[in-house]
Structure 1
Amino acid sequence: MAKMQANQMRPGMVIEFEGQRYTILKQNIMIPGKGAAVIQVEMRNIKTGAKKDQRWRTSDTVERLTTEDKEYVYSYTDGDNLVLMDPETYEQISVPKEILGDRLPFLQENMTVSLRLIEGEPVSMELPETVTLTVTEADPVVKGQTAASSYKPAVLENGVRTMVPPFITAGERIVVRTTDGSYVERAKG
């Protein structure tokens, strides 16, 4: 941890405040008519996800935490943990499954993921933006529907339900977003 002046805070930095860790989202310096400038900061609690607005004087100091984003390769799941491997050192690291929340089904073997570490402790994990999955079930198209408006329900091989265009059938491979499982395109090749 390192102390820094409040006016040095920038979006993306992580600070410790009142015993909690926060990611800085936005920061504005407000100069009132009289008196010292004030820093208005919007920040998100890393554990709870709750947003908080906080004001500091420019002369105040805050505790900045060191963050590191590092790429790992997903190896396997061990109970409630995901085992990741450092592609450079082959060292393994174990992180709780909850770190991914509802994106967990999109994690695939040997997938490269980005892990954010704060003071060496994993706090969040990013997946690639899209993955390719096989459609295991797709509803038949209802006659009379216009193709433009009618996405139909489908189930992917990872159990996630999504909406696909009418021409997609079971057995096809499609590209979906890992954030919400939404359809991007038919997989090529």
Structure 2
Amino acid sequence: MAVEIAADIRRGNIIEYTDGQLYVVLKAESFRPGKGTPTTTIEMRRISDGIKVVNTFKTSDKLEKAFVEEVEHTYLYPEGDNYVFMNSSNYEQVVVPGGMVGDSAAYLQENMAVSLQMFNGEAVSITLPQRITAEIVETEPVVKGQTASGSYKPAILDNGIRIMVPPHVGVGTRVVVNTEDGSYLERAKD
């Protein structure tokens, strides 16, 4: 275990909390007021049962960061409430519970390369690629001459996710989406 100050904890880190349980960090924000003690608010999910916890620490508080190995895997297929991945180097299959994948499950695409964080031989967290390409299956029709960059319209992707896209993007267009916040980035170049 490595000791890290609260201000250095980032999204995706695995920490061992005072209750002896492992938690994956979902969000970490530091707040530095003009007067008073700077604090870091950490939103984390307990790996064993998926319960979310939000705690506030002084930025100088020390937290135990668990040693996790990051291993490249390829997504294969869903199996009930679980997801099956294959280790890219030794071809072993790993079944990951749906609760651990969470909302990211909608972004999973067949043969997608992902990074699984392993602790004592078990997957404890998943990191998807930062961008995916998906096709728009439903949106309002393109309005000729409407090119204002500030306006966006709702669209539904082939994976069922709703995003906001510029008005010139129509049905059938392949777009690049940010997997962290589900935002439209650009039209796909392929």
CA distance in 1, matches of 2:150, 2:116: 38
Deviations 1:23-43 (A, max 9, x none): 6869xxxxxxxxxxxxx9866
Number of aligned positions between the proteins: 168
1:120 aligns to 2:121 (yes or no): yes
Asked if 1 retains the 8 angstrom alpha-carbon contact of 2:142 and 2:169, the reply is: no
| Structure 2: runs of 5+ lacking an equivalent | 30-38
Deviations 1:39-77 (A, max 9, x none): x9866544133133468xx9x9x8764311111000111
Aligned to 1:51: 54
| Structure 1: runs of 5+ lacking an equivalent | 27-39
Structure 2 length-normalised TM: 0.73
Give the letter for the 1:112 counterpart: A
Asked if 2 retains the 8 angstrom alpha-carbon contact of 1:67 and 1:117, the reply is: yes
Asked if 1 retains the 8 angstrom alpha-carbon contact of 2:146 and 2:167, the reply is: no
Task: Note the 1:10-49 alignment, pairs <5 A.
Answer: 10=5, 11=9, 12=13, 14-22=15-23, 45-47=44-46, 48-49=51-52
Root-mean-square deviation (CA, aligned residues, Å) is 3.1
Asked if 2 retains the 8 angstrom alpha-carbon contact of 1:137 and 1:170, the reply is: yes
- Structure of greater Rg: 1
Structure 1 length-normalised TM: 0.74
Asked if 1 retains the 8 angstrom alpha-carbon contact of 2:14 and 2:22, the reply is: no
1:150 aligns to 2:145 (yes or no): no
> Higher mean Cα deviation, 135-144 or 85-94?
135-144
> Higher mean Cα deviation, 90-99 or 64-73?
64-73
Give the letter for the 1:94 counterpart: V
23 and 96 in structure 1: CA distance in 2 versus 1, 3 angstrom threshold: closer
Aligned to 2:4: 9
Percent of residue pairs bearing the same amino acid type: 42
Asked if 2 retains the 8 angstrom alpha-carbon contact of 1:20 and 1:45, the reply is: no
Aligned to 2:187: 186
